[in-house]
Amino acid sequence: MTANPMTAVARVKTGHERRARYTGGVLVLLALFVVVVFGPGAYGDATFRLSRPGDAVVLGDLVVPAAPFIYVAASLLAFLGARQFLRGGVRWTSLSLGLGLALVVLAFLVWATAGNAFSLTGMLQATMVRAVPIALGGLAGVMCERAGVVNIAIEGMLLAGAFTGALVGSVIGGWGGLLSAVVIGGLFGFILAALVVTYRMDQIIAGVVINLFVLGLTSYVSSQVFSQYRGLNNAPVFRSWKVPLLGDIPVIGPMLFNQNLFVYGALALVALATYYLFHTRSGLRARAVGEHPRAADTLGINVYRIRYLHVTMGGMVAGFGGAWFTLGSVGRFDEDMTGGRGFIGLAAMIFGRWHPVGALGAALVFGFADSLQQKLALLGTGVPSEFLAMSPYIATIIVVAGLVGRARPPAADGKAYVKE
Amino acid sequence: MQVELKGITKRFGPVVANRDVTLSVKGGEVLGLLGENGAGKSTLMNVLCGLYAQDEGEIIIDGDPVSFGGPGAAIAAGIGMVHQHFMLVPVFTVAENVVLGVEPTGRLDRLDLASARAKVTEIGEKYGLHVDPDEVIENLPVGVQQRVEIIKVLFRSADLVILDEPTAVLTPQEVEEFFGIVRSLRDAGKAIIFITHKLGEITEIADRISVLRAGEIVGEADPKTARLEDLAQMMVGRPVSFDVDKPPLEAGAPILAVQDLVVLREDDAVAVDRVSLTVRSGEIVGLAGVQGNGQTELIEALTGLRMPAAGTITYQGADITRATVRVRHRMGIAHIPEDRQRSGMIGAFTVAENMVLDTYYDDRFSRGPQIIWPKVHEQAAISATEFDVRTPSVFLRAGHLSGGNQQKLVVARELSRETKLVIAAQPTRGLDVGSVEYIHRRLVEARQEGDGVLIMSSELDEILALSDRILVMFKGRIVAEFDATAAAFDKSAIGLAMAGGAGAEVAA
Ligand SMILES: Nc1ncnc2c1ncn2[C@@H]1O[C@H](COP(=O)(O)OP(=O)(O)OP(=O)(O)O)[C@@H](O)[C@H]1O
Ligand SMILES: [Mg+2]
């Protein structure tokens, strides 16, 4: 044999390099897009309000000259893109893409606000509020899927929580309503677990059945009963409570520390679930069941019990999230008022790579898109409101299809376990 | 510790997997358990470790009858098992896998991974089982995964360690190392049950041998005096020949020609580095090498499971570098994959369905969009008999076959087609001596019919017995070629080349 086996190999283009180039191309195109679409219409300054009248600490407004900002953003984008394209820096691919998208969003904001004023604080606060049901839905998904059960029924569980919260809340008060929403969520979780664990029904179908059942039942009761007895659909709402001092931090204070019970609850649950799943014995066992139930079984771990437990817990989280719709915002139940938030929650779970904190982060992205859409409708940008209303869903598709790439679900996710 | 099994019977529906089995093992000894594929070895061990409940009979530990409600109870009683197919969570670290089920915890149920790591290291030092506790399982070679399985058992302070075909996935070097570990366990006073199909191994390591056939104990033997031929006969109930009868080579035109092939792994590392090789009609080419030197990826590229990054593959004059798997099948390429459970069969399908995975669209088995099931079942029954796949019926889920019979199922499917080229990766992994003999004969028959045969095996003896020509792979390249026509193969030169040593020259 003549050649030395250790010599450098033929130069071959690798998959990662290709992806890096592709990303570079996309970034350059985005730069063009920003220049062509946002550039011409940007006159004057965009004013971002960092404080509201009456705040303890008042910051001045952030005034951004629109046109220069947009061109600077576009050149940054082009620079990132060209760098990716030419150097194909593998490690930088995701980071560049993330930065690039953030730049596009900023440019869009500046363009939309040009010649106008816009409250950043309010926007962030609204983002948080809108992220709550999505985050809780995603968290419910994380709890179930980490133990190997796909929970399509989160939408139905949210709806059941919202309905129960409104009904019981109207009769015995907010706390009672909240508690029963959690219990009802848990009950549906338990039913799902029974269907898929004990009776080995297909997990997707079982979830769909629960969704349809809850939708039908709540719609019926709300149109037939609530319309007659309005008193049954008039629950008290949990008001927001400002954390002393922390709530006065400019810009992010109101977002994190001047909210109602549900926001604090969601943040606490995310922290708790992270600790539980990744730092406790029970969490380790749950994840083992989701990855390789047979291995867990050979070690004397009761796969069925763990699945029951976690799907029920997931249901309780979703029930809590559902109560947000009624007890946390309007105090009244409307037909199908969750409007697909449960499914977006599932998307947040995937985008967040089956991690509680990831799901929260993804929920914030969706919440941001949602609240942006609302604010922009007020600013009157000329973009039809229908398109703006679509934006959270488009964000869902782009994020799940493009950005996440191949996130890996728990290996036994969605598969029934049959003991020998 | 003394463990006795008394009159154990275990049935799966009509199948009696174990019938009235009586067996005992005590601390400080290695009991070798032999038996052909489907004899019921794994089933018996699963009863012993609490995974299955026996239908009759009892388990007695140190004189007291015990009954296990599940694996947890068996573990508590000091019984630990390393399963034939590993039971490790691929995305967990070594330490996490080791402690799973018996986790050390602090306050608030908090996992104490630090002490787990320390314990893993401690056990490693004590028995020579070296692994990094923080490594993630899926990044570890099977040999190391096996060490983790053993550490797992020891961590639960098992007194009886069951090893179900532990050497099937190991390279010869790893086997030596592994025997060292088994001996140190025995010297530490553990009872060990060791299952294998390799007779040479069992006479080397066992203190006593019991032989199981068709679910029953058919005899015992003393490893110091037993002859391999006798053991083989006891296992399969007929005389077995260990030599491969091979008429002289009459190689014809090239069937497969590979030119400068480059294949990448998932992480874009180069697995196969500009490999060129030829397989001629009527010739068996052996691909030797320590596992992980690119053989797997090379085979995957040849069979269409992985797209090469550069180079060409020519088959009977046609360029098939980018051809689909189906096209390759129809052109007469057979593939016996390395990992039967991952890419050889579908466990949830029946034996019959698995038999026609490659030909169901054939006119023989389907009319338009409709599959003619009676024909499929008929043909499957014929193939199963021909290849000695032991199954109660062709309607059994393939996943319920014993490990060796799963392998025979895959071989049966691949060799029942019209073939011109047979690519076999680890074709006899986990097979008993009788089946090994049979499959070797089939491969030689394919050669006699003028097929080209390419065999990859981590067992050098298998390669030596079958091949007309041996290629040695090291770090993704073919570093040496040995020709049988010159003389008998020089085993030590091949071994050296496999280790990347000075033998990396053409010996022709
Ligand atoms: N879950 C099951 N359902 C039905 N039959 C089964 C099941 N598990 C095993 N069997 C049957 O029981 C018999 C014994 O199988 P077992 O796996 O114990 O064999 P083995 O001796 O370990 O063979 P090998 O060496 O091939 O691993 C086989 O005929 C097999 O088909
Ligand atoms: Mg077995």
Report DSSP letters for B19-37, one per residue: EEEEEEEETT-EEEEEE-T
Q: How many domains does chain A have?
A: 2
Contact B88 A282 (CB under 8 A): no
> E strands, B36-112, where?
56-61, 64-66, 79-82
Dmax over Cα atoms in chain B, in whole Å?
73
- Are B297 and B168 within one domain? no
Examine the fold and report which residue of B236, B271, B304 is the final residue of a domain before the chain moves on.
B236
Q: Are strands A62-65 and A45-49 parallel, antiparallel or unpaired?
A: antiparallel
- Are B108 and B145 within one domain? yes
In a domain, A417, yes or no: no
Pick the residue from chain B with its C-alpha nearest to A275. B110
- Segment A268-277 long-range contacts (CB within 8 Å, at least 24 positions apart): A269/A136, A269/A139, A269/A317, A269/A320, A269/A356, A270/A135, A270/A139, A270/A356, A270/A357, A270/A359, A270/A360, A271/A356, A273/A139, A273/A142, A273/A143, A273/A356, A274/A355, A274/A356, A274/A357, A277/A142, A277/A146, A277/A356
Stronger pLDDT, A28 or A387, i.e. the higher one: A28
Among the ranges given (A325-329, A368-372, B95-99, B187-191), the one the predictor scored with the smallest mean pLDDT:
A368-372
| Chain B residues within 8 A of A411 when measuring between CB atoms | 90-91
Question: Looking at residue A11, what is its pLDDT?
Answer: 45
- On whether ipTM exceeds 0.85, the answer is no
Tens of pLDDT along chain B (508 residues) come to: 899 999 999 999 888 999 999 999 999 999 999 998 889 999 999 999 999 999 999 999 999 999 888 899 999 999 999 998 889 999 999 999 999 999 988 888 899 989 999 999 999 998 888 899 999 998 888 888 989 999 999 999 899 999 998 887 777 778 888 899 999 999 999 999 999 888 888 999 999 999 999 999 998 999 899 888 889 888 888 888 777 778 888 888 999 999 999 999 877 789 999 999 999 999 999 999 887 889 999 999 999 999 999 999 999 999 999 999 999 999 999 999 988 887 889 988 999 999 999 889 888 899 988 999 999 999 999 999 998 898 989 999 998 998 889 999 999 999 988 899 999 999 988 888 888 888 899 999 999 999 999 999 878 888 988 999 999 999 899 998 988 765 567 777 888 888 777 544 444 3
- Are A168 and A193 within one domain? yes
In a domain, A335, yes or no: yes
**What does DSSP assign to residue A2?**
-
pLDDT of residue A5 exceeding 50, the answer is: no
- Are A209 and A330 within one domain? yes
Closest ligand by atom to B405 CA: 1
Query: Residues B495, B461: contact at Cβ < 8 Å?
Result: no
The 10 Å Cβ neighbour count of residue B234 is 20
Examine the fold and report which residue of A72, A88, A115 is the final residue of a domain before the chain moves on.
A115
> What is the pTM (predicted TM-score) of this model?
0.83
Contact A288 B475 (CB under 8 A): no
Candidates A2, A7, A12, A276, partner chain B, best to mutate (most B CBs within 10 A): A12
Question: Looking at residue A1, what is its pLDDT?
Answer: 36
Report the distance separating Cα A374 and Cα A112, nearest Å. Answer: 13
Report the distance separating Cα A415 and Cα A403, nearest Å. Answer: 26
CA-to-CA separations, B282 to B255, B285, B452, in angstroms, rounded: 9, 10, 5
CA-to-CA separations, A66 to A112, A113, A124, in angstroms, rounded: 9, 8, 21
Contact B260 A10 (CB under 8 A): yes
| Chain A residues within 8 A of B102 when measuring between CB atoms | 299
Question: Where in the sequence is the domain holding A105, given as residue range(s)?
Answer: 5-115
Examine the fold and report which residue of A88, A115, A142 is the final residue of a domain before the chain moves on.
A115
| Chain B residues within 8 A of A282 when measuring between CB atoms | 109
- Are A326 and A215 within one domain? yes
CATH number at residue B40: 3.40.50.300
Output the residue whose Cα is nearest ligand 1's atom 7: B400
Alpha carbons within 13 angstroms on the beta-carbon side of residue A50 total 11
Determine the atom of ligand 1 nearest the C-alpha atom of B36. Answer: 25
3-class state of residue B482 by DSSP: strand
Query: Residues B278, B257: contact at Cβ < 8 Å?
Result: yes
- Are A47 and A182 within one domain? no
Contact B52 A420 (CB under 8 A): yes
Closest ligand by atom to B404 CA: 1
The distance of A215 to chain B (nearest Cα, Å) reads 35
Pick the residue from chain B with its C-alpha nearest to A9. B273
- Are B96 and B119 within one domain? yes
- Are A129 and A21 within one domain? no
**What does DSSP assign to residue B458?**
S
What is the CA(B138)–ligand 1 centre distance, in A?
Answer: 27
What is the CA(B7)–ligand 2 centre distance, in A?
Answer: 20
- Tokens at residue A412, please? 């036994």
- Are B269 and B359 within one domain? no
- Are B413 and B426 within one domain? no
Report the distance separating Cα A217 and Cα A223, nearest Å. Answer: 10
Output the residue whose Cα is nearest ligand 1's atom 1: B400
| Chain B residues within 8 A of A202 when measuring between CB atoms | none
- Are A157 and A276 within one domain? yes
Q: What is the pLDDT of residues A236-251, one digit of tens each?
A: 989 888 888 888 887 7
pLDDT of residue A400 exceeding 80, the answer is: no
Question: Where in the sequence is the domain holding B455, given as residue range(s)?
Answer: 242-332+419-508
**Which residue of B164, B402, B405, B429 sits with most ligand 1 atoms within 8 Å of its CB, as the best mutation to test the pocket?**
B402
Mean pLDDT across the stretch A30-50? 82
Pick the residue from chain B with its C-alpha nearest to A17. B268
The distance of A202 to chain B (nearest Cα, Å) reads 15
- Are B280 and B387 within one domain? no
What is the CA(B408)–ligand 2 centre distance, in A?
Answer: 13
Examine the fold and report which residue of B236, B254, B276 is the final residue of a domain before the chain moves on.
B236
Question: Looking at residue A366, what is its pLDDT?
Answer: 85
In a domain, A274, yes or no: yes
In a domain, A52, yes or no: yes
Q: What is the pLDDT of residues A139-173, one digit of tens each?
A: 999 999 999 999 999 999 999 999 999 999 999 98
Collect all residues from A whose CB is shorter than 8 A from any CB in B: 1, 3, 5-6, 9-10, 12-17, 279-285, 287-288, 291-292, 294-301, 408, 411, 420
What is the CA(B12)–ligand 1 centre distance, in A?
Answer: 9
- Are B24 and B117 within one domain? yes
Output the residue whose Cα is nearest ligand 1's atom 6: B400
pLDDT of residue A387 exceeding 80, the answer is: no
Contact A12 B310 (CB under 8 A): yes
**What does DSSP assign to residue B423?**
E
- Are B499 and B480 within one domain? yes
| Chain A residues within 8 A of B100 when measuring between CB atoms | 284-285, 288, 295-296, 299, 301
Contact A1 B75 (CB under 8 A): no
Question: Looking at residue A3, what is its pLDDT?
Answer: 39
Q: Are strands B283-288 and B270-280 parallel, antiparallel or unpaired?
A: unpaired
For residue B23, give the nearest of B164, B229, B187, B218 by alpha carbon: B218
The distance of B324 to chain A (nearest Cα, Å) reads 20
Q: Taking CB atoms and a 6 Å cutoff, what residues make up the pocket around ligand 1? A: A 420; B 12, 15, 17, 35, 37-43, 84, 390, 400-405
- Are A280 and A295 within one domain? yes
- Are B220 and B196 within one domain? yes
For residue B365, give the nearest of B303, B416, B305 by alpha carbon: B416
- Are A142 and A108 within one domain? no
- Are A217 and A173 within one domain? yes
Q: How many domains does chain B have?
A: 3
The distance of B504 to chain A (nearest Cα, Å) reads 7
Determine the atom of ligand 1 nearest the C-alpha atom of B40. Answer: 18
- Are B178 and B195 within one domain? yes
In a domain, A414, yes or no: no
Closest ligand by atom to B401 CA: 1
What is the CA(B298)–ligand 1 centre distance, in A?
Answer: 33
CA-to-CA separations, B334 to A147, B181, B259, B330, B350, in angstroms, rounded: 39, 39, 20, 9, 21
- Are A176 and A262 within one domain? yes
- Are A248 and A377 within one domain? yes
Examine the fold and report which residue of B384, B417, B450 is the final residue of a domain before the chain moves on.
B417
- Are B184 and B319 within one domain? no
The distance of A199 to chain B (nearest Cα, Å) reads 18
- Nearest by CB: A284 against B46, B100, B479: B100
Closest ligand by atom to B198 CA: 1
- Tokens at residue B30, please? 């290695």
CATH number at residue A209: 1.10.3470
Output the residue whose Cα is nearest ligand 1's atom 14: B40
Query: Residues B47, B215: contact at Cβ < 8 Å?
Result: no
Query: Residues A124, A130: contact at Cβ < 8 Å?
Result: no
- Tokens at residue B85, please? 């197919």
- Are A266 and A392 within one domain? yes
- Are B313 and B443 within one domain? yes
| A/B interface, count of CB pairs below 8 Å | 117
**What does DSSP assign to residue A3?**
S
